[in-house]
Every structure is written in C-alpha cells, then in structure tokens.
C-alpha cells in the first residue's frame, strides 16, 4: 500500500474565545477529532461554510497551528513541533497558498526576489542556479520574463496569484495547501489559474489540499472531496461521486444551493437558519437544527463517520448502507 | 406619455480624466428585475453610484438619469435626497460595513422610517418589527435592541434589506448582495429578494459577477465590459444563445457541477487598463472571434432581429452550440 503523503488522525483544535474583556473563556472546537489522508500527487478538496474549520485544518496539516489532540504524519514520519529546525526544513516540502495574494506578497520586493526567497531561505541550488530556476518558475505559471522586476501593485490580481503559486513551487514541495486560492479572482481569470494549478500538479506530481467554499471549482480540481460542518467531516467521497449523488443531507443542500446559470431557483433545497456558532455546538448531530430529515436520534447522539460504499463515508444516522464506524 | 421608472441616457463617468463609463443607455421598468453582469472594474457598480450621485466629487459625470421623467443628474442635493432611500434604495456587498456598529439595529431601522416616511414612536417600532419579520429575522421583538455585531453576515444582509425597504422604494439596487455570504445563505437571500419583489412589486437591479445568481433573480440582463454594455437581452435569450463572444466566454469559464470533468475554458488575457483603451472594440485583444475591423472600429450596441441588443461585428452564431449549456437546458 502507498504511504500517504500526509495523514492526520484524530486532529482536534480548541480555541478559547472570550466575551468582553473580563468574560469567561469559552472553548471553541474549530476542528474536532478529524482524520484525513492525502496520497502523493492526489488532490483533496475541503469544502464547507465559514466557521466550519477548513482553514484551521489546513494550518494544522502544515503544523502551523498546534493540535491539542491527534497527530499528523508527513510521509510516514511524525510532524516536528512548530518552530523547530526540523519543522522549518520540512516546510520546503510543504507550502501554503492563501486567498489574498496582495497580503501574501511583500509590497517592497520585486516579484523575482520573492519567488527566489524560498531558495535562499532553504539554501537550495547554488546561487547562480537560482536565477535560472526563478525564470523557469515564472514561465511555468505563465508570467512574462519582463515582469520579474515588477512590484506586486503593478500586477493584476490573477498575475499576483500566479506569482504566489510560483513562490510556493520554488522549493519543489510535495504538498501544497491552497486556502481559497481563486476566490478573489474574476470568473475568466479564475479558470486560467485553475487550469494552471491542474497542469502544474500533473507535471510535478504534487499532493494538494484545496480548501474552498466554491463547489464548482473544487469539483474541477479535486480527486476526492471532504465536506466539513462545524469542525467535523460529514461526508467524504470521490469528487465525481459526491457531487453527482450526495448522501449526507448537508452535502445535498450545499450541492443544491449552487446557482447554475439558466436554472431557476424553484425546486432547490434551501436550508433554513444559519450555520451554528462553534462555541455553542448543538447536541447530537451538529447539523440537526437545520436538517429537514432530523429525527430524535439526531438530537441526542453524534453520528460517527461510517463507510457507506467503496471509498465513501458519511456521518449521518439516516444514510442507508452504512456499516461499521471507520476506526480513527 | 408614460415614462420608464428609471431611464439612463448616455451616462459617462471619468475619474481624474480617465473615462471609466462610456455612455450607458439603460432603462428599468416598474416591477422589473434587471441584472448587470461583468468582471471587476467593468463599471456595473459605478453606473448606479453615478446615477444616485454617490460618487466622490472628483468624478466627472455627464449624461442624463431620469426617474419618472425627473432629471437626477444635475439635480440639487435636496431633490436627490428625496429619491435616495425613498424612491431608490441600494444595498451593498458587505452589510457589516454598511450598518453603524454602535447603534442598535432597531434604532437604525426606525431612523430610516422617520426620515423617509415621517413616522415615529410606537408606530415606527411596529413598522420596523413588521419589516424585520418580512425579511426573515427570527425572534425580531427580542433582538430589536441588539447591535449589528450580534448578528451573522447573512442576517446583517437581511437587516440591510429591511432598512432599504423602510422607504417603500420603487427600485432596489442590490450590489453584489450575496458575494460575501456562504452558499446556503446565498440561496436564502436570493430567495428572499424574489419573494419581496413578488410581494411589494418593486423593481430590482441585481449587480453581480455571478451569472448563476443573476439567472435566479432577473428577467433581463445587461453584460458589461470595460465601461460599456456589450449585450443585453432576456435571461432566456442570453443564457440559451449568448451572441457576444465575451458573454459566451463568461459562460464557458464557469466550472460545471455535473457532466464530465473537462478542462476549463478561460478567456485569455486580462481586462484592459481604462487608461489605455484603443479606438476599436475593448474586447478584441482577448477575442477569438475578432476580425480586422475590430481593432480600429468600435461596434455600436444595435438591436437584433430577436430583440436583444448586441455590440459585435462578428458575433457567435445563433446556432453554434454552447457545450457548457446543453445539459442545463435539458434539465430545465
């Protein structure tokens, strides 16, 4: 069996939130006993609404946010602690791409300098080879050579995101965590960047965790998709399968809520209510207050993530064909 | 003679000498839902900000904006203030920055009622509660005296809509009202906008870059590119047979949720810099359909046989199938 590129078991992250200056600290379970794995060269899509913990999960996979419980292994080895020399060395192999490229770039440095930075920091290649590598990276992400000396504000949003991606690729990572990489871009530019990410991934066989709230983009990029609700995975399956036949009521509502051009709003499943506050988690299944199918058992007992078919799992009491819980 | 509710003629806007809006002609009928679609910087928001006199002083505006025949464009401030909020209300993308964070929401809504309808006291409170019920704020009575930060993003947008409805406007302009919201909440707000239009009969202008969202709220759509309308028609016309290569390109660029996973079809290049527009069609550098004349001559927005308006010398053929749309039409 292939060793997973990255594997997380029982990950839990609890933030403390204070109401007011002297208020009591309330624990917020941003990520709750969550297990996932990504194989080499595979793309795992993570979807969910704001507050579902998908960005926290991305940061925990890279070891930026420490886990209170559970563990992450990278290529079979435990993730070193945040800030240690081993962790820093490992960061060359795993990179992060954020949503807002202008915030991720230093406004006072040229694009070429910034793409070169990971090579300087991790002391990769000889100094003379680095310039060549920067040129090759810029070409790979579709930036023109004359843009090397430009500053971030001189580029368009799409070009900035290309520069951020080039920088992330500089150290030959085997894993990239992309947190909403195309959400801030216009549709026509979004398609350019999505195509580019897919090409780069094919070319360099990079494993990718693609975090997004945009189901249409995720379907197009990811091989496998995990749907998160309030810090837990509620359904996981192959990308084509999960969008064609969602089984969890939440996934069904999400898929149904995607506006398709030319299709009327009527007949779509519109969820009532808002995603609940993670600090005030409902009892039983966290989705039950908004679920049209909820029964008594949903209000009292938390459904475990169970296998419901080949390579498919869902956490719902009502999904049929569920077998034994997946061991964490 | 009857007028359209709002009629915009040859509206032009320039910032510091750079022209960003190049003569927009647009009319909104009573009770109609009109969509304005385009990428960032195409002028879809500026059109309405200019119409309502909401642009900063440095913007040079020319042209005519009439509401039921009354000119707004050079109107004095008092005349504008009677229209803004009263006849035409506007809601924006980010509701939390449009609400005053230090004033209780009940007071913010009654303030609008006092301003536009001259009611106060208990009457205003009762009316505000009715509006809050109407936009679907649960438990409005108890939450009347809460602050904006105590509401979620989706609920803040509902509050903004309630405030916009306070003046009983004839036209609601919704500028990207669902862009900052989660998918399931977005569906709720679109549903609410449809429902309110059916109940109150007010016209809606829905500004968005999301063609999917537009098709669920609007009857008629204008597609804008670089400060001009390039195609205009009914939802069915535009969505089943887009004729302008840009409209077609926008459809093809949207990833699909069903059918086989194929490579996306982006529009190459980027939106032109408004300072460096050529004499020709602004879209021609990115256009696969462009012919020689596109580079130096600009196509006018002309009426086609089927009633749509189109500004293109070499449009996409009417029977050229749109691969990205076939299955949708079968489903519908």
CA distance A84 to A51: 29
Residue B318: pLDDT band by 50, 70, 90 thresholds? Answer: low
Do the chains contact at B332 and A268, CB–CB below 8 Å? Answer: no
Whether A192 contacts chain B with CB within 8 A: yes
Residue B324: pLDDT band by 50, 70, 90 thresholds? Answer: very low
pLDDT score at A265: 62
Do the chains contact at A187 and B39, CB–CB below 8 Å? Answer: yes
pLDDT tens track for B71-101: 988 888 888 888 998 899 999 888 888 899 9
- Give the CA radius of gyration of chain B: 21
Q: Work out the number of other CB atoms within 10 angstroms of the CB of residue B149.
A: 11
Say if CB B237 and CB B308 are below 8 A apart.
Answer: yes
Q: Burial, A145: exposed, middle or buried (Cβ in 10 Å; 0-12, 13-18, 19+)?
A: exposed
List all residues of chain A from 234 to 253 with a beta carbon under 8 Å from chain B.
239-240, 243-244, 253
Say if CB B227 and CB B44 are below 8 A apart.
Answer: no
Say if CB B246 and CB B225 are below 8 A apart.
Answer: yes
CA distance A104 to B34: 37
A251, two tokens: 């996934």
Closest CA to B29 of B196, B283, B201, B284: B201
Assess whether pLDDT exceeds 90 at residue B244.
yes
Residues from chain A contacting residue B194 (CB–CB below 8 Å): 265
Residues from chain A contacting residue B239 (CB–CB below 8 Å): 261-262
CA distance B78 to B87: 13
* Residue A327 to chain B, least CA–CA distance (Å): 31
Identify which of B213, B250, B331 has the shortest CB distance to residue A188.
B250
Q: Taking the alpha carbons of B116, B121, B126, B131 in that order, is the dihedral positive or negative?
A: positive
Assess whether pLDDT exceeds 90 at residue B8.
yes
Identify which of B182, B217, B271 has the shortest CB distance to residue A49.
B182
CA distance B139 to B154: 15
Do the chains contact at A274 and B183, CB–CB below 8 Å? Answer: no
Q: What does the longest C-alpha to C-alpha distance in chain A come to? A: 68
CA distance A228 to A13: 14
Whether B76 contacts chain A with CB within 8 A: no
pLDDT score at B154: 86
pLDDT score at A51: 80
Say if CB A209 and CB A177 are below 8 A apart.
Answer: yes
Residue B330: pLDDT band by 50, 70, 90 thresholds? Answer: very low
- Provide the 3-class DSSP secondary structure of residue B291: coil
Supply the ipTM of this predicted assembly: 0.79
Do the chains contact at A186 and B239, CB–CB below 8 Å? Answer: no
* Residue A192 to chain B, least CA–CA distance (Å): 5
Average pLDDT estimate for B1-5: 75
Nearest CA in chain A to B213: A259
- What percentage of chain B reaches a pLDDT higher than 70? 95
- What percentage of chain B reaches a pLDDT higher than 90? 55
Ranges B110-124, B125-139, B236-250, B255-269: which has the least confidence: B255-269
Q: Burial, A64: exposed, middle or buried (Cβ in 10 Å; 0-12, 13-18, 19+)?
A: middle
Mutate which: A157, A188, A280, vs B, most B CBs within 10 A: A188
pLDDT score at A273: 80
Assess whether pLDDT exceeds 90 at residue B150.
no
pLDDT score at B321: 57
Closest CA to B120 of B130, B110, B128: B110
pLDDT score at A322: 53
Residues from chain A contacting residue B325 (CB–CB below 8 Å): 261-262
Domains and CATH numbers, chain B: 6-218 (3.40.50.300), 242-331 (no CATH)
Residue B183: pLDDT band by 50, 70, 90 thresholds? Answer: confident
pLDDT score at B243: 93
* Helix, strand, coil share of chain B (percent; to 5): 35, 20, 40
Assess whether pLDDT exceeds 60 at residue B239.
yes
Q: Count of CB contacts below 8 A, A vs B? A: 140
Residue B130: pLDDT band by 50, 70, 90 thresholds? Answer: very high
Do the chains contact at B329 and A257, CB–CB below 8 Å? Answer: no
pLDDT score at B125: 95
pLDDT score at B73: 85
Closest CA to B20 of B225, B207, B274, B208: B274
Mean pLDDT of chain B, nearest integer: 88
Helices (H), B52-92: 77-83
User: What pairs with residue A238 in β-bridges?
Assistant: A224
Strands A43-47 and A69-74 come out as: unpaired
List all residues of chain B from 262 to 281 with a beta carbon under 8 Å from chain A.
263-268, 270-271
pLDDT score at B325: 39
CA distance B50 to B13: 7
Identify which of A198, A215, A265 has the shortest CB distance to residue B194.
A265
Mutate which: A20, A43, A186, vs B, most B CBs within 10 A: A186
User: What pairs with residue A77 in β-bridges?
Assistant: A74
Nearest CA in chain B to A276: B152
CA atoms within 13 A on the CB side of A117: 14
Q: Burial, A267: exposed, middle or buried (Cβ in 10 Å; 0-12, 13-18, 19+)?
A: exposed
pLDDT score at A186: 83
B96, two tokens: 């939390």
User: What pairs with residue B36 in β-bridges?
Assistant: B207, B222
Nearest CA in chain A to B151: A274
Identify which of A186, A253, A256 has the shortest CB distance to residue B39.
A186
Closest CA to B109 of B80, B93, B79, B89: B89
Q: Work out the number of other CB atoms within 10 angstroms of the CB of residue B213.
A: 25
Do the chains contact at B250 and A187, CB–CB below 8 Å? Answer: yes
Assess whether pLDDT exceeds 50 at residue B112.
yes
pLDDT score at B326: 38
Number of H-type helices and E-type strands within chain A: 11, 12
CA distance A238 to B194: 35
Residue B275: pLDDT band by 50, 70, 90 thresholds? Answer: confident
B39, two tokens: 């990428």
Do the chains contact at B266 and A189, CB–CB below 8 Å? Answer: yes
**Cα B226 from chain centroid?**
16
Do the chains contact at A260 and B257, CB–CB below 8 Å? Answer: yes
Helices (H), chain B: 44-51, 77-83, 95-98, 105-117, 121-134, 140-143, 153-165, 183-200, 211-217, 235-240, 245-253, 326-331
Say if CB A228 and CB A57 are below 8 A apart.
Answer: yes
CA distance A201 to B131: 51
Average pLDDT estimate for B7-22: 93
Say if CB B148 and CB B100 are below 8 A apart.
Answer: yes
CA distance A140 to B320: 34
Nearest CA in chain B to A49: B182
pLDDT score at B257: 83
* Residue B29 to chain A, least CA–CA distance (Å): 22
More confident residue, A275 or B322: A275
CA distance B192 to B203: 14
pLDDT in tens, chain A (328 residues): 688 999 999 999 988 877 776 777 888 888 989 999 999 999 999 998 888 888 899 999 998 888 889 999 999 999 998 889 999 999 999 999 988 888 899 999 999 999 999 999 998 888 889 999 999 999 888 888 888 999 998 888 888 999 999 999 999 999 999 998 888 788 888 888 899 888 888 888 899 999 998 898 999 999 999 999 999 999 999 998 999 999 999 999 999 888 877 666 666 778 888 777 778 888 899 999 999 889 999 999 999 999 998 889 999 998 876 555 554 4
List all residues of chain B from 309 to 328 with a beta carbon under 8 Å from chain A.
325, 328
Say if CB A93 and CB A20 are below 8 A apart.
Answer: no
pLDDT score at B331: 35
Mutate which: B38, B143, B187, B329, vs A, most A CBs within 10 A: B187
User: Residue A55: in which H helix or E strand, if any?
Assistant: helix A54-61
- Provide the 3-class DSSP secondary structure of residue B187: helix
**Cα A213 from chain centroid?**
10
List all residues of chain B from 182 to 211 with a beta carbon under 8 Å from chain A.
182-188, 190-191, 194, 209-211
Look-up: residue for tokens 């670089």? B226
Distances (CA, A) of B297 to A241, A282, B248, B278, B291: 49, 63, 21, 9, 11
CA distance B58 to B189: 34
* Residue A216 to chain B, least CA–CA distance (Å): 5
Q: Work out the number of other CB atoms within 10 angstroms of the CB of residue B85.
A: 18
Residues from chain A contacting residue B250 (CB–CB below 8 Å): 187-188
CA distance A212 to A219: 10
Identify which of A49, A186, A264 has the shortest CB distance to residue B184.
A49
Closest CA to A169 of A205, A215, A194, A127: A205
Closest CA to B36 of B216, B223, B183: B223
CA distance B245 to B287: 7
């Amino acid at each position: 069996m292939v060793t997973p590129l990255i594997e997380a078991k029982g990950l839990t992250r609890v933030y403390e939130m204070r109401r007011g200056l002297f208020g009591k600290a309330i624990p917020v379970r941003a990520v709750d006993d969550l297990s996932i794995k990504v194989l080499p060269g595979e793309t795992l899509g993570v979807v969910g609404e704001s507050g579902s913990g998908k960005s926290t999960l991305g940061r925990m996979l890279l070891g930026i946010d420490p886990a209170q419980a559970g563990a992450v292994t990278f290529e079979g080895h435990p993730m070193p602690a945040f800030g240690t020399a081993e962790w820093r060395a490992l960061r060359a192999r795993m990179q992060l791409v954020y949503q807002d490229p202008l915030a991720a770039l230093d406004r006072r440095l040229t694009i070429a300098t910034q793409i070169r930075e990971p090579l300087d920091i991790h002391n990769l290649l000889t100094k003379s080879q680095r310039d060549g590598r920067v040129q090759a990276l810029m070409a790979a992400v579709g930036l023109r050579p004359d843009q090397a000396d430009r500053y971030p504000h001189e580029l368009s949003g799409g070009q900035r995101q290309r520069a951020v991606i080039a920088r992330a690729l500089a150290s030959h990572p085997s894993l990239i965590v992309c947190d909403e990489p195309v959400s801030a871009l216009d549709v026509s530019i979004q398609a350019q960047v999505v195509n580019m990410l897919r090409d780069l991934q094919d070319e360099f066989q990079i494993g990718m965790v693609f975090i997004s709230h945009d189901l249409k983009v995720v379907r197009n990029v990811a091989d496998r998709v995990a749907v998160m609700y309030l810090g837990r995975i509620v359904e996981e399956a192959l990308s084509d399968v999960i969008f064609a036949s969602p089984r969890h009521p939440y996934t069904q509502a999400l898929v149904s809520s995607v506006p398709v051009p030319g299709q009327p709003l009527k007949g779509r499943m519109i969820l009532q209510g808002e995603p609940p506050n993670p600090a005030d988690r409902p009892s039983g299944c966290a989705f039950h207050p908004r679920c049209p199918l909820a029964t008594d058992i949903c209000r009292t007992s938390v459904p475990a993530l169970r296998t419901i078919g080949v390579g498919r799992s869902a956490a719902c009491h009502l999904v049929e064909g569920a077998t034994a819980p997946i061991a964490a | 003679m009857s007028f359209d509710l709002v009629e915009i003629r040859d509206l032009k806007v320039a910032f510091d000498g750079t022209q960003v809006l190049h003569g927009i002609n647009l009319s909104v009928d009573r009770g109609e839902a009109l969509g304005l679609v385009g990428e960032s910087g195409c002028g879809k928001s500026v059109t309405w900000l200019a119409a309502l006199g909401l642009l900063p002083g440095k913007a040079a505006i020319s042209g005519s904006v009439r509401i039921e025949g009354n000119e707004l464009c050079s109107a004095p401030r008092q005349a504008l203030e009677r229209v803004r909020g009263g006849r035409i209300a506007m809601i924006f993308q980010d509701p939390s920055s449009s609400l005053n964070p230090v004033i209780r929401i009940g007071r913010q809504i009654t303030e609008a009622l006092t301003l536009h309808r001259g009611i106060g006291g208990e009457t205003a409170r009762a009316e505000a509660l009715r509006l809050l019920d109407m936009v679907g704020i649960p438990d409005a009575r108890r939450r009347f005296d809460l602050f904006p930060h105590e509401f979620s993003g989706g609920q803040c947008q509902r509050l903004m809509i309630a405030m916009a409805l306070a003046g009983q406007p004839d036209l609601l302009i919704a500028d990207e009202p669902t862009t900052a919201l989660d998918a399931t909440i977005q569906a709720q707000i679109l549903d609410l906008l449809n429902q309110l239009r059916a109940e109150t009969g007010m016209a809606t202008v829905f500004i968005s870059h999301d063609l999917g969202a537009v098709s669920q709220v609007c009857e008629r759509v204008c597609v804008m590119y670089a400060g001009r309308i390039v195609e205009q028609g009914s939802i069915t016309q535009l969505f089943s047979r887009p004729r302008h290569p840009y409209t077609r390109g926008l459809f093809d660029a949207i990833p699909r949720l069903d059918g086989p996973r194929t490579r996306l079809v982006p529009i190459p290049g980027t939106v032109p810099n408004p300072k460096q527009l050529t004499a020709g069609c602004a879209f021609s550098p990115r256009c696969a359909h462009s012919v020689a004349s596109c580079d130096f001559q600009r196509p006018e927005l002309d009426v086609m046989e089927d009633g749509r308006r189109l500004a293109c010398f070499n449009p996409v053929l009417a029977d050229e199938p749109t691969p990205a749309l076939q299955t949708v039409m079968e489903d519908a």
